[in-house]
Structure 1
Amino acid sequence: MSPTLWPSPCAVSTAEVSRAGWLRASRGRERRGRRVIRSVRGRVAERGKGFVVVDVGGVGFQVLTPDSSTSALPGEDGEVSLHTRLHVREDALTLFGFATAEEAGLFDLLVTVSGVGPKVALGILAACRPKRFLELVIYEDTDGLSRLPGVGKKLSQRLVVELRDKLAPERQRLGPADLAGAPVSRDPREEAVEALAMLGYARVEAAGAVDRAVAELGENADTAGLLKKALKLL
């Protein structure tokens, strides 16, 4: 018997919907939703480009996957275990799956960047393995990043600015040869102003917003923090 297709067991109560409305309820659960289903293990009932249906005790979970994960999956009826993240929207519950914890971790990081949704993050993972993405960010290779699916010039710059500091601890994964071309650290305030200028803001306007961000966040704020705050102030 074919499994019943069911994106996820996450549900919103009638009382919750009546109090705040589906939109607010779904937004409130979006952050929690990613932690609801952290893994799925079962039998491959169906697989196709960018997705797999995993039969777990007669319930079929349709899981969207990057091509790198899909290609590593067994054929139909094979046993599979995926790291998963549940994305909750007002009109859909979507389960994303990854063959490795490394891919799942990068997905979590990507969706924290302004302008990067789950589908863009999935496209990046489909075209770029985690170590290669790390190299692109560490090298500040915005040209390379801009060639990834769904990433243009502005988003590539934002990826570098917002993720460079977060990925700094991962530099140890790169060998001496990899790091030979790594950029020299600069003042976070200057980097934030330059990033805003590259996004199209006038330099004077950008500098004023960054100064206000520094006043609110403190002198020890990093580039990513200053940029996020400045964007809210502009």
Structure 2
Amino acid sequence: MTSLAEVATPPTARRVRTRQRLMAAAVAVFAERGVIGSSVEEICEAAGFTRGAFYSNFADKDALVLAMIEQGVAEEYAAAEQAVASLKVEGARLPAGDAVAQVLDQLNHGGRSDRTSLLAQRELLLYAARVPSLREPYQAFADACRAQVDALITDALRFAELEFTVPDDVALDLLMAAHDHMQQNALFTDRLDPAAMQALIMTLTRPRVEVCFPRAAEEL
């Protein structure tokens, strides 16, 4: 059983590097063989580690899968967050839709967007859907990430002085669905084409309208 002192102790740089190498190796193995078809031994061999190194970092393959999902989404979110911060630092008002397009572009490219990584992402999602013990933690994590992404996109809209032409939740669902569809197409075309996403953003946004209420009669 892990002690409280061990839990509170931050991981060493060496341990972090080991985890990163194991997860990087798993991306390639999962993309080629799928999560179910891959073994811990294959991942260890690809990473150049022993089984002992694996189990000192992950309880089992399921724990590795959750860690990879969390890391992948965190990398994309961090890149999108940086895109919003950069827009604010530059202080320029962009043409309609460009601000949101840049944020979504970072969601596409901020994480790894090569074919191997895209295949691994799909395998991780399917595996989490198939394994009952992973469904709830995955969904909870996905919901939290979606809320963060929604806040980022809304922030980008405000900065660009835009608003959605449909209810916010509907627009965000459409944008995320288009983002997912674009990544799926990239598996077959080997390229990410943002044209459809940009067209959708143009359709879903308009210059923000400030509502002015008439002053009360006694104030006139």
TM-score band w.r.t. shorter chain: under 0.3
More helix by share: 2
Q: TM-score, with normalisation over the residues of structure 1?
A: 0.27
